Amino acid sequence: MIDVRDLKKEYTDEETPTRALRGVTFTINKGEFVSIMGPSGSGKSTLLQILSFLDRPTGGSYTFQNKGIEEMTDQELAHTRNKDMGFVFQSFNLLSRLTVYDNVEIPLLYSDILPAKRRTLIEEAVRSVGLEEKLHTEAGKLSGGQKQRVAIARALVTDPNVIFADEPTGNLDSESGLQIMEILASLHAKGRTVLLVTHETQTAEFADRVIRMKDGRVESDTMITERVSRGPLK
């Protein structure tokens, strides 16, 4: 599904170049649950932006579902992003005065899906995260854990091929964080491809594989063979 080869990204600020990615190579297959870890400045956020079509690399190649992004126009990237990718962010990115229903509907507004079908998809997505009783509640009245579940429902509503989760437990207490990770793990168990960016080891180990970044490079790429005890995330 995702193949990056010698991926590079360089920013120039006042003529001073910053090499955020220095030749990153890996493959992620359909149905994998992969965590990307690394300290601040390691390149993991830049990598996520490129993988999710928010930025383009300055070197190397990125192939998504057998198509190189250098072959795609900005319009094609935007269409693929809306259709094939779902996103869960640390800050939730919900509109607080809109209801759960309306927030989950937002990705569908850019599709050609008819309103009657939209309702079915929205209700199914909200039910999958256990918030059906909050369907018509304003997002601003929900707890942090509930907001993140709404964000996951919004990510699911277009039936994406891959879910990108960027520090999804970063603004949550340990119990709520555990619930969110269990939801992501259950989605993976049903065949979803999940790519998680986190700095928390216990969160990362919900995945089957951990890619560790350092100084813009892949420091290690390992499979998780033994699970830690899944108590509340610390």
pLDDT tens-digit profile of 19-34? 999 999 999 999 999 9
Give the phi and the psi of residue 46 in degrees, each rounded to 5.
-60, -40
Please name the amino acid found at residue 192: R
pLDDT level of residue 98 (50, 70, 90 thresholds): very high
pLDDT at 227: 58
Q: What average pLDDT score do residues 124-129 get?
A: 96
Q: Tell whether the model's pLDDT for residue 97 goes beyond 90.
A: yes
Q: Phi first, then psi: what are they for 174, rounded to 5°?
A: -60, -40
**Is pLDDT larger for residue 7 or for residue 200?**
7
Q: If pLDDT is split at 50, 70 and 90, which confidence band does 111 have?
A: confident
Backbone angles phi, psi at 87, to 5 degrees: -130, 135
Q: What percent of the chain has pLDDT over 90?
A: 82
Dihedral of CA 145/151/156/161: which sign?
A: negative
pLDDT at 38: 92
Beta strand spans in the chain (E): 2-13, 16-28, 33-37, 59-64, 67-68, 85-89, 162-166, 193-197, 209-214, 217-223
Q: Tell if the pTM clears 0.85, that is, is over it.
A: yes
CB 82, CB 158: distance < 8 Å: yes
